[in-house]
C-alpha cells in the first residue's frame, strides 16, 4: 500500500472566531508567513518518515486550511523534497480557469521532476460561495473541466474549446508536463455518478472518510464502469482519505483522542455506529478513520485493501506533528507499506 501525508497549511496562531468565512483581521501577517514555513517543514518530515506521497488541497477563507492555490505550496515543497510525489488533492474546478490550472500544474510537474499527481474536485457548498459558483452546475463543470485539462495536456496543436461551461478560442499550453502523456489524474468516487464518470473516462478514483463497506460499494461501481469502457483498474488507481491518531498502543492513542476532545474513539475497526465512538469512519470528516497502535491501524488498512484501496492519504490529528511523524516512521510505515 502506498502512503500519503495530508498537510493542511494551517494557521499556527490563535483565532478567536470559528466558522466560515473567518475575517482577515484575525490573521497576523508574520504568523501567516511562519505558518507557511511550518507547512513546508511538515512535508519535509513526511518524506523523511517514509511517506510515498504528500498531498495539498484547495480551500478558501479559513485559518485551518490556508491553501487557496495548492500549486503554489506544491512548488515550495518541490524544492525542499526529492522523492515524494506531490499530490494536488485537489484543485476545485468550478472555482478556477481550467486552462490556467493546466498551465500551472504543468509548470509544477517540470519543477518537481515529474512528481505531480492531481485530483480535481467539485468542492463543498461553502467553497462554491467563494467566487459565486452555482452549486447546481458544479458537478457538470467539474466533469467538463477535467476533460478540457486532459486535452490541454495531450493535444500537440493549438485547439479551440466550446463547451457548456468553458469556452476558449485558443488553447496551447506551455510548458508541457514532464510526465507523458500527463500526471496521474484522480476523480472523486464518493457519489455513484462520480465513480461511474471516473471509470468511463479512465481516471483513478478517490474516496474519503467512509467505512470499508461503503468504499467497496463505490469501488465496485467504479470498476464496473471501467470494464464497460474496456480497461481494468488496479489498487493503485484507488485512494482513500482519512484522519489518523497513532499511539504506542490503542490506549495511548485513545488518551490523545480524549485530550483533543474526541471521546469514545476506541474500536476503530469494530464497526460501531456513529455516535458510539467519534472514531467510527461513518463520523465523516470530523471523525478519525485510523486510530490506535500498529495492529489496530493495520487491521483497518487491510479492510480497506480488501475493498480495493491501494493508497491511503492521512492527516495526523493530535499528539504533535513531530511525535506523530517519528512514531509513524519507526513503527507504522513499513508494515503499512506491506499491506496488499
pLDDT reported for residue 283:
54
Below-70 pLDDT ranges, the chain: 263-284
Residue 130: inside a domain, yes or no?
Answer: no
Q: At what angle do helices 212-228 and 192-200 cross, to 10 degrees?
A: 40
Q: What are phi and psi of 131, to 5 degrees?
A: -120, 15
Residue 148: inside a domain, yes or no?
Answer: no
Residue 172: inside a domain, yes or no?
Answer: no
C-alpha cell, 151: 486535452
Alpha-carbon span 144 to 142, nearest angstrom: 6
Identify the CATH number of the domain in which residue 252 sits. 3.20.20.30
Alpha-carbon span 283 to 143, nearest angstrom: 28
- Domain hosting residue 322, numbered range: 2-83+106-113+185-337
3-state SS, residue 50: coil
Distances (CA, A) of 227 to 8, 195, 219, 221: 35, 13, 12, 10
- 292 φ/ψ sector (left φ>0, alpha ψ -120 to 50, else beta): left
pLDDT reported for residue 118:
98
Residue 199: inside a domain, yes or no?
Answer: yes
**Number of other residues whose CB lies within 10 A of the CB of residue 253:** 28
Number of residues that make up the chain: 340
| Residue 301 · residue 339 · CB < 8 Å | yes
pLDDT reported for residue 266:
42
Residue 162: inside a domain, yes or no?
Answer: no
Residue 143: inside a domain, yes or no?
Answer: no
Residue 55: inside a domain, yes or no?
Answer: yes
3-state SS, residue 293: coil
Residue 121: inside a domain, yes or no?
Answer: no
| Residue 150 · residue 182 · CB < 8 Å | yes
Question: What total number of domains does the chain contain?
Answer: 1
pLDDT reported for residue 282:
45
pLDDT reported for residue 185:
98
The pTM for the full model equals: 0.93
Amino acid at each position: 500500500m502506498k502512503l500519503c501525508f495530508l498537510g493542511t497549511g494551517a494557521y499556527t496562531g490563535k483565532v478567536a472566531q470559528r466558522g466560515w468565512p473567518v475575517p482577515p483581521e484575525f490573521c497576523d501577517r508574520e504568523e501567516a508567513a511562519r505558518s507557511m514555513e511550518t507547512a513546508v517543514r511538515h512535508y519535509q518530515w513526511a518524506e523523511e518518515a517514509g511517506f510515498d506521497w504528500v498531498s495539498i488541497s484547495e480551500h478558501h477563507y479559513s485559518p485551518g486550511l490556508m491553501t487557496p492555490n495548492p500549486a503554489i505550496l506544491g512548488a515550495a515543497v518541490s524544492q525542499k523534497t526529492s522523492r515524494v510525489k506531490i499530490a494536488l488533492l485537489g484543485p476545485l474546478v468550478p472555482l478556477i480557469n481550467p486552462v490556467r490550472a493546466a498551465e500551472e500544474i504543468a509548470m509544477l510537474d517540470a519543477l518537481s521532476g515529474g512528481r505531480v499527481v492531481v485530483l480535481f474536485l467539485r468542492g463543498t457548498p461553502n467553497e462554491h460561495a467563494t467566487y459565486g459558483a452555482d452549486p447546481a452546475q458544479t458537478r457538470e463543470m467539474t466533469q467538463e473541466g477535467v476533460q478540457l485539462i486532459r486535452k490541454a495536456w495531450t493535444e500537440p496543436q493549438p485547439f479551440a474549446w466550446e463547451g457548456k461551461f468553458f469556452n476558449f478560442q485558443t488553447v496551447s499550453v506551455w510548458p508541457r508536463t514532464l510526465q507523458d502523456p500527463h500526471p496521474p489524474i484522480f476523480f472523486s468516487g464518493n457519489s455513484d455518478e462520480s465513480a461511474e464518470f471516473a471509470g468511463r473516462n479512465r481516471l483513478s478514483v478517490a474516496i474519503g472518510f467512509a467505512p470499508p463497506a461503503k468504499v467497496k460499494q463505490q469501488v465496485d461501481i467504479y470498476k464496473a464502469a471501467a470494464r464497460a469502457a474496456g480497461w481494468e483498474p488496479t489498487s493503485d488507481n484507488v485512494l482513500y482519505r482519512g484522519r489518523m491518531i497513532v499511539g504506542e498502543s490503542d490506549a495511548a492513542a485513545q488518551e490523545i483522542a480524549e485530550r483533543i476532545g474526541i471521546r469514545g474513539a476506541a474500536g476503530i475497526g469494530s464497526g460501531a455506529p456513529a455516535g458510539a465512538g467519534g472514531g467510527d469512519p461513518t463520523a465523516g470528516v470530523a471523525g478519525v478513520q485510523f486510530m490506535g497502535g500498529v495492529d489496530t491501524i493495520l487491521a483497518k488498512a487491510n479492510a480497506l485493501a480488501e475493498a480495493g484501496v491501494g493508497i491511503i492519504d492521512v492527516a495526523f490529528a493530535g499528539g504533535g506533528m513531530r511525535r506523530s511523524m517519528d512514531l509513524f516512521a519507526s513503527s507504522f510505515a513499513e508494515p503499512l507499506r506491506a499491506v496488499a
